[in-house]
Amino acid sequence: MVVEIGRLCIKIAGRDAGKECLIIDKVKENFVLIDGNTRRRTCNIRHLEFLPQIAKIKKGASHDEVMKALADLGIKAKARSEYKKKEKSPKAQKTEKKKVFSLKKNKPEAKKEDAPKAEKKVAKK
70, 74, 79, 84: CA torsion to nearest 10? -120
In a domain, 115, yes or no: no
| 50 within some domain | yes
107 within domain boundaries: no
pLDDT at 71 over 70: yes
Sequence letter at residue 95? T
- Could you read off the pLDDT of 23-51 as tens digits, one per residue? 999 998 899 999 999 889 999 999 999 99
Q: Which long-range contacts (CB under 8 A, 24 or more apart) does 62-68 make?
A: 63/35, 66/22, 66/24, 66/35, 66/36, 67/36
pLDDT score of 104: 62
Domain that holds residue 47: 1-54
Phi (first) and psi of residue 115, to 5 degrees: -70, 140
CATH code, 8: 2.30.30.30
Q: How many domains does the chain have?
A: 1
In a domain, 40, yes or no: yes
pLDDT at 125 exceeding the cut of 80: no
For residue 10, tell me if it sits in a domain: yes
Mean pLDDT, the chain, whole residue set: 79
Q: Output the CA torsion sign for 38, 44, 47, 51.
A: positive
Of 38, 41, 30, 40, the C-alpha closest to 10 is 38
Pair 37, 22: CB distance under 8 Å: no
